[in-house]
Amino acid sequence: MSESDRELVIVGVDSAAFSPLLEVLEERKVIGAEQLRLLDEEDSEPDPQVFANRSVPVGALEKFTFAPEQVVVLLKGGEAGRAALAAAEAAGAWVLDGADNTRGDESVTVVHPLLNIADIAGAERRVLALPAAGAAMVAEALAPLRDKLQAVEVQLNQPVSAIDKAAVDAMAAQTARMFNGQEAEVDPAIGHRLAFNHLSSSEALLASGHNLSELALVHDLRRLLGDTVAVDACINTASVFHGQLANVRVVLQEDADLAQVNALLRNGARLKMSERPSAQEAVGGEETLIGRVRQSLLNPRQVNFCAASDNLRKDLAMNCVQIVHLLLKNH
């Protein structure tokens, strides 16, 4: 079967990642509109979507029949996402999970297109998982230093879009109300106001004091960097819609040679040096910005730096499209 005869099925039109994904698919000309199938839950009643100047209807997930020639991208989590995953895998389709449906399942291969794309060939199942956007960015930033790493600590400032589209809509509504002198309504699931705030955690805490997203970040980094690297992480939520920024602390196996570290980072794939990286500067871009590289005052083997990227376009949509292209072409 030729690449042009295969279909791409995207499940979850209401995801914050959907629009950037559709945009990158169209820019890269990976598929034609006739090959694209869009699905969501029947009761959501989404409008048709425009792709390559054509209107593409959104079908009911519950009524859709999956097939072996399809590549299925899951942007929807929860019960509906898990049901779609099970149905697509049972039909023999390739499934790429971008919504944490397979998080923690060691039988699923976590794939970053720049770091371990060859692992697809040896995948135990026809189910792959995208790393969380924060893990994708940090792993990419650390790739040039991978052979020198002993430990990594990440403090990720994630945007509200990393939670979900409902959180983006909630922050927009809260901002509008506050600008009009009204009290902002707080989502009880988050427990804090999102607008004009900085949250230590947007999720409930586990007994360890971590939240699930932090453990997922640690898990993904270990899968991408190797089990020999010790990893810890903290995720705060900043009151911005898009764009993530991480403060990364790495302990090297030997005393840091800052000139060498800078040279390695400067030559890293999809990395761009910036004196003072910001999330706003990274939004819309296709590179991870790296800056403020400095030796720790506490440990001669520790190097600290900042990384910033577009969490939706670069670390989810672009990575997803690269993997989809490979699956459609070679698998």
Of 258, 50, 271, 251, residue with least CA distance to 153: 251
- Cβ–Cβ under 8 Å, residues 86 and 75: no
Domains and CATH numbers, the chain: 3-130+316-330 (3.40.50.720), 135-311 (3.30.360.10)
In this prediction, residue 45 carries a pLDDT of 76
> Buried (b) or exposed (e) across 26-55, using 16+ Cβ within 10 A?
beeebbeeebbbbbbbeeeebeebebeeee
Per residue in 149-163, pLDDT (tens digit) is 999 999 999 999 999
pLDDT tier, 5 (very low <50, low <70, confident <90, very high otherwise):
confident
How many C-beta neighbours within 10 Å does residue 170 have?
22
Confidence check: pLDDT of 2 > 70? no
Task: Enter the tokens of residue 268.
Answer: 């890293």
pLDDT tier, 42 (very low <50, low <70, confident <90, very high otherwise):
confident
Strand partners, 73: 10, 96
Secondary structure class of 24 (helix, strand, coil): helix
In this prediction, residue 28 carries a pLDDT of 95
Per residue in 237-290, pLDDT (tens digit) is 999 999 999 999 999 999 999 999 999 999 999 999 999 999 999 999 999 999
Q: Is 299 exposed, middle or buried (0-12, 13-18, 19+ CB in 10 A)?
A: middle
Backbone angles phi, psi at 69, to 5 degrees: -80, 5
